[in-house]
């Protein structure tokens, strides 16, 4: 069997599995916020595909905001240094905020982000992440809605990237080490 991309070692999560799980998450979020409005804060660039699909499955009034944060640069592991590249355009004070992430790896970026946004006095704040690698967490962070747990391999696709490539793959797969080892 040929893999769907020459740089992918194996597929971890298929397109159908991703879409089915996103629909489930949307139903759960709708139920949990019934009668409320929610601000979805998309963490760019990785979460943009996930949030686009997720918000279509949330049957509530939603606002969308975007933040760009970096702790990876072009590496395969988090540097632990978080930089805000783009901040929110609107205030989140007294609003229900749902942070939408592509992946929680070390938890350092998300922990920083939660502290930063908490200081802006939202009514409530929760986290929805497409993927998590709990075995890699260096900080305890609560992920209220998690799509999938991944092994500690380097995964790409459906928003997850290496050097800004592979985000457009409609599935999540393990990147072959040969695709990144020479880069490090």
* Rounded-to-integer distance, Cα 114 and Cα 18, Å: 25
- Residues serving a catalytic function are 105
Cis amide linkage into residue 45, ω under 30° from 0: yes
Count of other CB atoms within 10 angstroms of residue 69: 20
**Which candidate, 28, 25, 31, 89, places its Cα nearest to that of 63?**
89
List all residues 6 or more positions away from 168 whose beta carbon is below 8 Å from its beta carbon.
none
123, 150 contact by CB (below 8 A): no
């Amino acid at each position: 069997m040929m893999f769907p991309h020459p740089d992918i070692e194996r597929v971890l999560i298929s397109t159908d599995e991703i879409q089915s799980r996103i629909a489930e998450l949307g139903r759960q979020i709708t139920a949990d916020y019934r009668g409320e409005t929610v601000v979805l804060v998309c963490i760019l660039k990785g979460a943009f595909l996930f949030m686009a699909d997720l918000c279509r499955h949330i049957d509530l009034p939603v606002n969308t905001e975007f933040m760009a944060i970096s702790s990876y640069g072009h590496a395969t592991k988090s540097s632990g240094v978080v930089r805000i590249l783009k901040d929110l355009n609107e205030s989140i004070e007294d609003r229900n905020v749902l942070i939408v992430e592509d992946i929680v790896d070390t938890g350092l970026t998300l922990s920083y982000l939660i502290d930063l946004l908490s200081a802006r006095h939202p009514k409530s704040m929760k986290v929805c992440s497409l993927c998590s690698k709990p075995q890699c967490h260096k900080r305890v962070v609560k992920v209220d809605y998690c799509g999938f747990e991944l092994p500690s391999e380097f995964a790409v696709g459906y928003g997850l990237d290496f050097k800004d490539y592979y985000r457009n793959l409609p599935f999540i797969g393990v990147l072959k080490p040969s695709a990144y080892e020479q880069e490090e």
